[in-house]
Amino acid sequence: MLLALLCQLTAASQGTSRYRDKDGDKRLKLALEVRQYPTVDPDSAVIRLYARITMNQLVFVRQGQSFKAEYEISIFAMDEDEKVRVTKIWREEVLLEDYQETRSDEQARYPTTSLTLTPGDYKIIAHITDLANRRRYSTTKEVTVKRYAADELVLSDFILVSRVPSQSDQPVEITPQFKGQIADDVDSIYVYLVIWNPTGEPLLSTCEYKLIDSEEEVVTNQVDTLELNATLTDYWIPLATKPLLDREYTLEVELSAGELSVSREFPIIIAWTGISRLIKDIDKAIDQTRYLASHSELKKMRAPKDKVERRKLLLEFWEDRDPTPGTPRNELMDEYYRRVAYSNIHFRSYQAGWESDLGMVYITYGPPDDIERHPFDAQRKPYQIWRYYDKGWRFVFVDVNMFGDYRLVTPLYPTGR
């Protein structure tokens, strides 16, 4: 089975190409976070844009003993009538001393800007163009600018940051953690937000925040007393991340001051080092290796009572099968759990899709070259035939209960494999 997975993985990588638009230009995706913050004017809001571009996305040119890259950032905000309401264009440069840093996919720059917009629906278009080769990275975000009530407390959008900036009279400058993700090898993180105080004078308030895991258990519960500024207040929520063992959490924040109150939620994802982002639950991920793991390997991974130890054993299981050891990604693990996710969506019946016979074959051998479906034959139960032409394989599935529960009626390991 491992050989079959590796063959499928090689074929997929050879067939991968970037999407081209109708003009033939390569459309390379730009990482962009969009957050909305209140202003002193309730009829407008600040839209802050945080882009991310890694060093290996840029072309560096030697300049003396250093290496230099230059890029241009273009931001357009279009309203519902497709009229451009705000445009911002500027250039930045990166100067590095070490050539290896120019090839890094971990070191990044975070071009940032703000747009002040009135309430309404907008399309934010962002481009970063490498000035050395004119390669363009782009993305589009839909944004609804809210009208804030002048007599209500307001909590802005939340964003994760790795550290609190030093105190100064300048506007807050932060480096965001993208996609609400926290690496599991850091000790702590902060959530940044802005609070709007409608009273026009300092206000004493209480802020309670809870971090809730995927089982709806409260793992952090903290109450702070805040003295809000007369209008806007920056607020930083510190979170200890070392003891967090699950993948997904929800941060609930409730702010109250007398009769005024407001609450918001924010999803937080723990990015497990070395483990596929498709894995949400370690124990389930261990069970899902059963089409590849031996009985003894499964027993070993399930045995520890400590979740950290089980996660370590799962990682070791996949490291032993990594087709490209020493690289950040384990392509085999990613492909395996991508097939699991696909099976859960497309082959679900009374059981999870990955546990079905359709899912078993799909996870083991990948997508078939052809599927022949017979859902309404008069004298026979519904059945499907999956064919893998390059290997000469044929799998037949029959819906034995007539409820979409297709069972494999030919051998899982066909001759000639």
Token pair of 326 as six digits: 């020493």
Instruction: Give tens-digit pLDDT for 8-65.
Output: 555 544 333 333 333 334 557 899 999 999 998 888 999 999 999 999 999 999 999 9
Three-state SS letters, 280-321: CCHHHHHHHHHHCCCHHHHHHHHCCCCHHHHHHHHHHHHHCC
* Predicted local distance difference test score (pLDDT) of residue 24: 39
Instruction: Give tens-digit pLDDT for 277-315.
Output: 888 889 999 999 999 999 999 999 999 998 889 989 999
* Predicted local distance difference test score (pLDDT) of residue 4: 61
SS3 341: helix
Phi-psi region of 319 (alpha: psi -120 to 50; beta: other; left: phi over 0): alpha
| CA–CA distance, 230 with 148 (Å, rounded to integer) | 16
| CA–CA distance, 251 with 6 (Å, rounded to integer) | 40
CA distance readout (Å), 390 to 5, 16, 167: 14, 19, 64
Q: How many CB atoms are closer than 10 A to CB 344?
A: 16
* Predicted local distance difference test score (pLDDT) of residue 228: 95
Comparing CA positions, the residue from 356, 385, 383 lying closest to residue 370 is 385
Token pair of 110 as six digits: 């975070």
Comparing CA positions, the residue from 271, 278, 194 lying closest to residue 234 is 194
**Domain ranges in the chain?**
22-147, 149-271
* Predicted local distance difference test score (pLDDT) of residue 179: 78
| CA–CA distance, 124 with 360 (Å, rounded to integer) | 42
Strands 28-29 and 66-78: unpaired
Q: How many CB atoms are closer than 10 A to CB 273?
A: 11
Tell me the β-bridge partners of 249.
213, 268
For the chain, list residues with pLDDT below 70. 1-27, 166-173, 415-417
Domain 22-147 has CATH 2.60.40.10: yes
Comparing CA positions, the residue from 137, 140, 101 lying closest to residue 18 is 137
Number of H helices and number of E strands within the chain? 7, 23
Comparing CA positions, the residue from 116, 264, 114, 262 lying closest to residue 198 is 262
CATH dotted code for 149-271: 2.60.40.3880
* Predicted local distance difference test score (pLDDT) of residue 164: 76
Comparing CA positions, the residue from 132, 124, 136 lying closest to residue 25 is 136
Pair 45, 148: CB distance under 8 Å: yes
DSSP 8-state secondary structure symbol assigned to residue 176: B
Token pair of 402 as six digits: 């007539």
Token pair of 146 as six digits: 């809210």
Pair 221, 210: CB distance under 8 Å: yes
Do 22-147 and 149-271 have matching folds?
yes
In the chain, what's the furthest Cα-to-Cα distance? 81
Pair 205, 254: CB distance under 8 Å: no
Comparing CA positions, the residue from 379, 415, 414, 372 lying closest to residue 397 is 372
Amino acid, single-letter form, for residue 262: V
Contacts 24+ apart (CB under 8 A), 304-310: 307/245, 307/282, 307/283, 308/245, 310/282, 310/283, 310/286
| CA–CA distance, 328 with 130 (Å, rounded to integer) | 25
Over the range 354-380, which residues count as b (16 or more CB within 10 Å of their CB) and which as e? bbbbbbbbbbbbbebeeeeeeeeeeee
